[in-house]
Amino acid sequence: MVEYGVMAMYDIHCHILPGIDDGPEKMEESLAMARMAVADGIRAIVATPHAARVVEKGGKDALEQRISTFNQELQTQAIELKVLMGVEHLLSMELLQEAQRGAAIGLNGSRYLLLEIDFLQYPAYTDDALFQLQLLGFVPILAHPERQANIQKRPELLAGLVARGVLSQVTGGSVLGYFGKEAQRSVEHLLRNNLVHLLASDGHTSSQNRPPVMMEAVAAVERLVGEDAAHCMAVANPSAVIAGATVTLPESRPARRRFFPRLGR
């Protein structure tokens, strides 16, 4: 197994900022999450509060200020973690208008836009809206497709998007079964069929429920699709996103199963 503790992981989807969305309410809880992430081998987190809450709470400038304050607190507490700016957008026609007027916020200022779609509905405009965002120069990253009901039933929906350059980010907790059997089955299928570019925590709390960690999930991904693909999803691609560089689609190459003949009884 790759030593992820030495080779830093990067989490591009985490609700770590205090008092802004359905992540932690207080600074203490955010700091507890930061300590967990560092202990897990994560060196940088893109803070991705929900876009609607960002707008309600002062917009981009206020978000920048919150991130700066949080990084100062991390330094004060000697927690070796860098927090970068991002947002989790909800894919909608309004988002398209925001993107057109330059108000959409990419991950760490890049052209990568983290997007979620409704968990139950797959609106008719989905594919077109993603395409329009691409025409504007953005690279959409679809957050947790394995938790979306329509993609669970019809993974070819995601395959079509990936073929057109949309990136997909699965959540570590789904691989470990924290979001139920359907999400787990779905993520395994997507991984085995080369439909996943990125793994992230989508952390919300320091509790076991939605922790800001990745290592255990990376190990599970490694067992499913091999070491190279796991490394690509947890290390190489997230760091490329943060740097605004090109992301690759890792290929599933699970370790060949060894056949041990049964010994006679």
Contacts 24+ apart (CB under 8 A), 175-181: 175/199, 175/217, 175/220, 175/221, 175/224, 176/216, 176/217, 176/220, 178/209, 178/210, 179/146, 179/147
Note the helical H segments in the chain. Answer: 27-40, 51-56, 59-76, 93-100, 126-135, 149-153, 156-163, 172-175, 181-192, 215-225, 227-231, 237-243
**Cβ at position 92, least distance to Fe ion in Å:** 16
Select 88 or 146, whichever has its Cβ closest to Fe ion: 88
146 binds Fe ion (CB under 5 A): no
Using CB under 5 A, which of the segments 33-41, 72-80, 100-108, 196-204 binds Fe ion?
196-204
Instruction: List beta partners, residue 116.
Output: 90
CB of 201 to Fe ion, least distance (A): 9
Judged by CB under 5 A, which stretch of 24-32, 158-166, 194-202, 254-262 contacts Fe ion? 194-202
Rounded to the nearest 10 degrees, how much is the dihedral formed by the CA atoms of 227, 231, 234, 239?
Answer: -170
Q: Least distance in Å: CB of 184 to Fe ion?
A: 18
Residue 184, both tokens: 């787990």
Is residue 99 within 8 Å of 138, Cβ to Cβ? yes
Q: Do 82 and 46 form a contact (C-beta atoms < 8 A)?
A: no
Question: What part of residues 27-66 is at the interface with Fe ion (CB under 5 A)?
Answer: none
Determine, following the binding rule CB under 5 A, whether residue 21 of this chain makes contact with Fe ion.
no
Which phi and psi (to 5°) does residue 197 adopt? -100, -35
Between 11 and 88, CB nearer to Fe ion:
88
Provide, rounded to whole angstroms, the least separation between the CB of residue 174 and Fe ion. 12
> In whole angstroms, how close is the CB of 241 to Fe ion at the nearest point?
15
Residue nearest to Fe ion (CB): 202
Interface positions, 64-93, toward Fe ion (CB under 5 A): 88
Tell me the two tokens of residue 105: 């916020």
202 binds Fe ion (CB under 5 A): yes
CB of 22 to Fe ion, least distance (A): 9
| Closest to Fe ion by CB, 20 or 226 | 20
Site residues (CB under 5 A) for Fe ion? 88, 202
